[in-house]
Amino acid sequence: MLLATNRLTKVYQVPGSVFWQPPRSRTALKDVSLAVEEGETLGIVGASGCGKTTLAHLLCRLIAPTSGRITYGLGLTDPARDIQLISQNPYDAFDPFLTVGESLEEPLRIHGLRKAARDRIGQALADVRLDFDVTAHRPQALSGGQRQRAALARALVCGPKLLVCDEPTSALDLSVQADILNNLAELKEKRGVALLFISHDLDIIRHVSDRICVMGSGIIVEEGMTGDVLARPRHPVTRGLLDAARRT
Amino acid sequence: MKEILRVENLTVRLPQPDGMMTVARDVSFSLHEGEILCCVGESGCGKTTTALALTDLLPEHSRVSFDRLVFNGHVAQDATTCASWRGQGIANIFQEASAHLDPLFCVGAQVRETLITTRGLDEEAAHAEARRLLDRVGLKPAEDVERFYPHQLSGGMNQRVLVALALACAPRVLIADEPTTGLDQALRLELAGLIKGLAAEKGWAVLWITHDIDLAEVVADRAMVMYAGRIVEEGKAQDVFTSPLHPYTQALLACRLRKDAAGRLPSIYGEVPNFRALPAGCAFHPRCAQRLKECDKTIPETFPQAGGRKVRCYLRRTV
């Protein structure tokens, strides 16, 4: 086991619409328990607003859970370094004032891996099929697909064991989407990295995942091997998602 | 079907720090009553720019030229004529609804304002009509929803408010620029069904811009494919999506994720060219697996095909 969550819950305080109204509590995630095994791809699928991104942010420790626990396996010695996030929108994933090279160097500096920085960056860029020349450019000079590949390279520089991919292709064109999915599959094979792949698109989840968890209103409603769950859905949420996918 | 909008050889140049950049060239198409024309293509191929030019919403100092631009029998003299059509016959629905709604006003007030300015209704009539429109787009109960601010509604609900605003303009033409981007599959289908239903009911001519080919296949009556600022293929949606003739359309459709897809997915070699450094000849030739000798020399003209299709490719040359 690489990582497991035990009854993970996140409650947000939503401010009232006018200042005299007291804040309201909104449960984004309730009692979510899941496990990610080494080298596997776990797909998380669900409609917008069901808590997928909150789960990604909790796993990457960008936010703290209200209750529940995350347990890290022996393979994850330094969770901040070994779990990396690839976010949905490559257009705001980079600091516009830094060059791509500086952005790729930043995680190495933070995690004390500056020694072989150039080699690590070169290797990560080669793995995502980007020329080393892009390091001299600012992110604005790159296309959407190049930026998402650069974001992938930045996630790879520290040699992560788990990549949390939060809808990494939803802002991209079809042709670029295929490229990124191919790239992730290659990385999984070459580096043995595990993927937690979040998407609302069942076709993508079907293609990339070994196992899936279906989410609805902040809870996991169905879980199992991808083929089994999608061939014989038991929960109405899964059936609804499959129905929407079938109609497009 | 009656022709509502005709565009002939529209060219758009946008100001850049180092001079003007041409982002749409010789774009010609027409829109008919009750018909949905989907404009598909990768990001940065000039789809949105073309649409914005039709309602004069381009950045300042942009240059728009055309041979002929006719809306509902009115001939445009220059690009500024298009500004008078905005909201008065041509309505827009944009992607990211929350960015296009005023965060300081409740949605009911925004629909009422549109009704008062475009249809000249008085406050009381606008109030009743705004409720009716919100109800029509499925925002129920409208008496409650009208009091909500955009941040209190979900992405899908805000997108429905934009549809209500478009309805308030009582348009003949609707320009829907990626209205379903950011929504999940079920919401995407719901919204597409709503717009398609309204287009049929009200006789709207719809220009639907999208890079979602699966959705375009569901909603479109006709389709046009754009690449590097030019239309490369146009025809009935069923023809274009089932038997594409241009190598770019073929490559784009091949990238769709099949349910039984396994292993490596097909993708298009290379990147969409920068408008500043378009390749000579056909802009797609560096990425084209079927290119001919002349493809890198001269830009192919549009060759008419059977069934009213048009293809800009030497492979489909007709005498």
pLDDT tens readout for residues B14-55:
988 888 999 999 999 999 999 999 999 988 888 999 999 999
C-alpha closest to that of A202 among B6, B184, B278: B184
Contact B259 A185 (CB under 8 A): no
Q: Closest approach of chain B CAs to the CA of A186, in angstroms?
A: 9
**Judgement on whether residues B181 and B118 belong to the same structural domain of the protein:** no
Q: Closest approach of chain A CAs to the CA of B74, in angstroms?
A: 36
Contact B14, B49 (CB under 8 A): yes
pLDDT digits (tens, 9 = 90+) for B192-223: 999 999 999 999 999 999 988 889 999 999 99
How far is A157 from A168, CA to CA, in rounded Å?
A: 18
Task: With beta carbons under 8 A apart, name residues in chain A contacting B186.
Answer: 47, 240-241, 243-244
DSSP SS3 for B170: coil
> What amino acid is encoded at A214 in this protein?
V
pLDDT recorded at residue B108: 95
Domain boundaries, given as residue ranges, for chain A: 3-76+161-247, 91-159
**Judgement on whether residues B76 and B197 belong to the same structural domain of the protein:** yes
Residue B83 within a domain:
yes
Task: With beta carbons under 8 A apart, name residues in chain B contacting A201.
Answer: 185
| pLDDT exceeds cutoff 90 at B272 | no
**Cβ neighbours of residue B202 under 8 Å, at least 6 residues apart?**
B167
Predicted confidence band of residue A136 (pLDDT cuts 50, 70, 90): very high
Residue B246 within a domain:
yes
| pLDDT exceeds cutoff 80 at B166 | yes
Contact B160, B146 (CB under 8 A): no
Contact B232, B250 (CB under 8 A): no
Give the count of domains, chain B. 2
pLDDT digits (tens, 9 = 90+) for A158-170: 999 999 999 988 8
Average of pLDDT values for B70-82? Answer: 88
Contact A48 B267 (CB under 8 A): no
- Residue B13 corresponds to which tokens in the numbers above? 């140049």
Task: With beta carbons under 8 A apart, name residues in chain A contacting B189.
Answer: 244, 247-248
**Judgement on whether residues B126 and B193 belong to the same structural domain of the protein:** no
Domain boundary among B169, B185, B201: B169
DSSP SS3 for B6: strand
Task: With beta carbons under 8 A apart, name residues in chain B contacting A48.
Answer: 154-156, 182-184, 187
Phi, psi values for residue B257, rounded to 5°:
-80, 115
Q: What is the mean pLDDT of chain B?
A: 91
Helix%, strand%, coil% for chain B, nearest 5: 40, 25, 40
Contact A206 B188 (CB under 8 A): no
Instruction: Kindly list the residues of chain A whose beta carbon comes within 8 Å of any beta carbon in chain B.
Output: 17, 47-49, 143-146, 170, 172-179, 181-182, 185, 200-204, 206-207, 240-241, 243-245, 247-248
Contact B204, B163 (CB under 8 A): no
Contact A207 B265 (CB under 8 A): yes
Question: Tokens 């040699």 identify what position?
Answer: A159
Task: With beta carbons under 8 A apart, name residues in chain A contacting B144.
Answer: none
Residue B309 within a domain:
no
Residue B255 touches partner A, C-beta closer than 8 Å: yes
Question: Tokens 């500043």 identify what position?
Answer: B276
CB pairs under 8 A between A and B: 85
**Judgement on whether residues B222 and B110 belong to the same structural domain of the protein:** no
Q: What is the largest CA-CA distance in chain B?
A: 68
How far is B46 from A11, CA to CA, in rounded Å?
A: 43
Residue B144 touches partner A, C-beta closer than 8 Å: no
**Judgement on whether residues B83 and B181 belong to the same structural domain of the protein:** yes
Chain centroid, CA B89 distance in Å: 16
Contact A244 B155 (CB under 8 A): no
pLDDT recorded at residue B250: 95
- Segment 146-205 of chain B within 8 Å of chain A by CB: 149, 151-152, 154-156, 182-189
pLDDT digits (tens, 9 = 90+) for B120-142: 999 999 999 999 999 999 888 88
Task: With beta carbons under 8 A apart, name residues in chain B contacting A183.
Answer: none
pLDDT recorded at residue A17: 61
Predicted confidence band of residue B242 (pLDDT cuts 50, 70, 90): very high
pLDDT recorded at residue B189: 87
| pLDDT exceeds cutoff 90 at A173 | no
Residue B291 within a domain:
no
| pLDDT exceeds cutoff 80 at A18 | no
Chain centroid, CA A210 distance in Å: 15
Range of the structural domain that residue B158 is part of: 98-169
Domain boundary among B119, B136, B169: B169
> Measured at the alpha carbon of residue B159, what is the angle toward residues A239 and B58, in degrees to the nearest 5?
135
Residue of B nearest to A175 (CA): B267
> Nearest 10 degrees: CA dihedral of A76, A81, A83, A89?
180
**Judgement on whether residues B195 and B269 belong to the same structural domain of the protein:** yes
Q: What is the mean pLDDT of chain A?
A: 90
DSSP letter string, chain A: --EEEEEEEEEEEEPPSSTTSPPEEEEEEEEEEEEE-TT-EEEEEE-TTSSHHHHHHHHTTSS--SEEEEEE-TT-SSHHHHEEEE-S-GGGSS-TTS-HHHHHHHHHHHTT--TTHHHHHHHHHHHTT--GGGGGS-GGGS-HHHHHHHHHHHHHTT--SEEEEESTTTTS-HHHHHHHHHHHHHHHHHH--EEEEEES-HHHHHHH-SEEEEEETTEEEEEEEHHHHHHS--SHHHHHHHHHHHH-
Residue with the bigger pLDDT between B263 and A185: it is A185
**Judgement on whether residues B11 and B130 belong to the same structural domain of the protein:** no
B312 DSSP assignment: -
- The CATH number of domain A3-76+161-247, selected from 3.40.50.150, 3.40.50.720, 3.40.50.300, 3.90.1150.10: 3.40.50.300
Question: Tokens 């494919």 identify what position?
Answer: B225
Residue B256 touches partner A, C-beta closer than 8 Å: yes
Share of chain B above pLDDT 70, in %: 100
Average of pLDDT values for A115-124? Answer: 91
Q: Closest approach of chain B CAs to the CA of A110, in angstroms?
A: 33
Residue B308 within a domain:
no
Contact B259 A176 (CB under 8 A): no
Residue B146 within a domain:
yes
**Judgement on whether residues B137 and B35 belong to the same structural domain of the protein:** no
Average of pLDDT values for B231-243? Answer: 96
| pLDDT exceeds cutoff 80 at A214 | yes
Average of pLDDT values for A206-232? Answer: 94
**Judgement on whether residues B70 and B184 belong to the same structural domain of the protein:** yes
Task: With beta carbons under 8 A apart, name residues in chain B contacting A241.
Answer: 185-186
**Judgement on whether residues B164 and B180 belong to the same structural domain of the protein:** no
Contact B259 A203 (CB under 8 A): yes
Residue with the bigger pLDDT between A24 and B286: it is B286
Residue B57 within a domain:
yes
> What amino acid is encoded at B8 in this protein?
E
Predicted confidence band of residue B262 (pLDDT cuts 50, 70, 90): confident
Contact A190, A3 (CB under 8 A): no
| pLDDT exceeds cutoff 80 at A233 | yes
Share of chain B above pLDDT 90, in %: 66
B278 DSSP assignment: P
Task: With beta carbons under 8 A apart, name residues in chain B contacting A146.
Answer: 271
Q: Please name the member of B211, B257, B271 whose beta carbon is closest to the beta carbon of A143.
A: B271
**Judgement on whether residues B9 and B82 belong to the same structural domain of the protein:** yes
The whole model's pTM is what? 0.86
Q: Please name the member of A179, A181, A245 whose beta carbon is closest to the beta carbon of B185.
A: A245
Task: With beta carbons under 8 A apart, name residues in chain A contacting B211.
Answer: 173-174
Chain centroid, CA A186 distance in Å: 17
Contact B257 A178 (CB under 8 A): yes
- Residue A247 corresponds to which tokens in the numbers above? 């109609």
**Judgement on whether residues B80 and B178 belong to the same structural domain of the protein:** yes
Residue of B nearest to A18 (CA): B149
- Residue B79 sits in a domain of what CATH number? 3.40.50.300
Task: With beta carbons under 8 A apart, name residues in chain B contacting A174.
Answer: 42, 211, 213, 252, 255-256
> Nearest 10 degrees: CA dihedral of A21, B140, A200, A16?
0
Contact B253, B67 (CB under 8 A): no
| pLDDT exceeds cutoff 80 at A247 | no
Q: What is the 3-state secondary structure (H, E, C) of B191-223?
A: HHHHHHHHHHHHCCEEEEEECCHHHHHHHCCEE
Residue B272 touches partner A, C-beta closer than 8 Å: yes
Share of chain A above pLDDT 90, in %: 61
pLDDT digits (tens, 9 = 90+) for A59-95: 999 999 999 999 999 888 899 999 999 988 887 889 9
How far is B123 from B47, CA to CA, in rounded Å?
A: 37
pLDDT recorded at residue B129: 95
Query: How large is the ipTM?
Result: 0.76
Residue B120 within a domain:
yes
pLDDT recorded at residue B248: 96
pLDDT recorded at residue A245: 83
pLDDT recorded at residue B269: 85
pLDDT recorded at residue B282: 96
Residue of A nearest to B155 (CA): A48
Query: What's the first-to-final CA gap in chain A, in angstroms?
Result: 37
